[in-house]
C-alpha cells in the first residue's frame, strides 16, 4: 500500500510540473495570425513518447497495445453514460487537414511485415509520395487538445510520420470540452470532479496529462488551428 501511495504522489507531482509549464507557455505566448499556438508544440513533445513506446513494442516483438487503450486514456471510452464526450462523424473532412509533420498523430502499427513494406515503399524517397486515402485512412481528432488517433491505415500513416511528409483528414471528431466539469486526471486515475471517486486508471500518463492541458486551453479560449473550419 505504501508503494502505491508513493507512486500516486510521485505521479501527481509529475502532472503538476507538466501543467505548470503549460500555464507558463500560455502566459508567455503572444500569438498573431494563423500560427499554431506554442502550447500545441508542447503537447506534441509530450505525446510523441506514446508513439515511441508503441513503436518499441513493435520493434522488440512485444504485443502492441490495442488502439482502444489510447481512447480510454484520452477519456473517450468510459463505461458510464454519465461521462460521454461529444462525438461526431466529419462529413466534409477534406476541409480539415492534419499535418503528419507538425501535428500530433498517433497510429498503432502492429504488423512488422506491413511496417517494413510501407517504410520502404511510401515516401518521396521511394518515388511514391504519401497520399491520403479516404477509404483507408481513418482517424479521430480530439479537441481542444489537437491530438489525432489513427484507427485504420496505421502502417502507411506511420510511414508519413517517420518521413515527416503528408497530410490526413480525420473522419471523426471527439470534443472533450463537456467532460472537464465532470472528470479530472490526478496523475494515475480519472476521477469524478464532485465525488473524487475513481472512474478508471490511465495506462499512458502522457495522454492523461494532455487531457488536463486541455482544461487550460478551454479556460484560456485557445483553439486548435483548424477548429474554426468545423
Q: What's the average model confidence in pLDDT over 27-43?
A: 84
Task: Considering only residues 7 and 146, tell me which one the structure prediction assigns the higher pLDDT.
Answer: 146
Q: Say whether 222 sits in a helix, a strand or coil.
A: coil
Contact between 178 and 86 under an 8 Å Cβ cutoff? The reply is yes
Tens digits of residue pLDDT in 167-225: 999 999 999 999 999 999 999 999 999 999 999 999 999 999 999 999 999 999 998 85
Q: Where are the domains of the chain?
A: 2-27+36-229
Identify the pLDDT of residue 141: 96
Contacts of residue 39, defined as CB under 8 A and 6 or more positions apart, other chains included, come to 22, 25, 26, 29, 213, 216, 217, 222
Stated pTM of the model: 0.92
Identify the pLDDT of residue 85: 76
Identify the pLDDT of residue 33: 61
Amino acid at each position: 500500500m505504501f508503494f502505491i501511495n508513493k507512486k500516486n504522489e510521485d505521479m501527481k507531482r509529475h502532472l503538476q510540473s507538466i501543467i505548470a509549464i503549460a500555464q507558463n507557455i500560455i502566459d508567455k505566448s503572444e500569438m498573431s495570425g494563423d500560427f499554431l499556438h506554442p502550447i500545441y508544440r508542447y503537447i506534441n513533445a509530450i505525446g510523441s513518447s506514446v508513439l515511441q513506446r508503441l513503436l518499441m513494442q513493435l520493434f522488440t516483438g512485444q504485443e502492441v497495445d490495442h488502439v482502444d487503450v489510447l481512447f480510454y486514456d484520452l477519456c473517450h471510452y468510459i463505461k458510464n453514460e454519465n461521462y460521454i464526450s461529444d462525438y461526431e462523424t466529419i462529413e466534409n473532412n477534406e476541409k480539415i487537414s492534419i499535418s503528419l509533420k507538425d501535428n500530433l498523430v498517433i497510429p498503432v502499427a502492429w504488423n512488422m511485415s506491413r511496417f517494413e513494406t510501407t517504410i520502404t515503399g511510401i515516401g518521396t524517397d521511394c518515388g511514391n509520395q504519401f497520399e491520403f486515402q479516404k477509404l483507408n485512412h481513418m482517424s479521430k481528432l480530439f479537441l481542444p487538445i489537437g491530438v489525432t488517433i489513427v484507427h485504420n491505415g496505421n502502417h502507411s500513416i506511420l510511414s508519413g510520420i517517420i518521413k515527416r511528409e503528408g497530410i490526413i483528414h480525420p473522419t471523426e471528431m471527439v470534443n472533450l470540452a463537456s467532460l472537464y466539469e465532470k472528470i479530472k486526471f490526478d496523475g494515475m486515475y480519472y476521477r469524478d470532479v464532485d465525488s473524487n471517486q475513481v472512474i478508471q486508471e490511465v495506462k499512458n500518463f502522457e495522454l492523461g496529462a494532455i487531457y488536463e492541458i486541455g482544461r487550460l486551453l478551454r479556460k484560456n479560449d485557445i483553439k486548435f488551428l483548424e477548429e474554426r473550419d468545423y
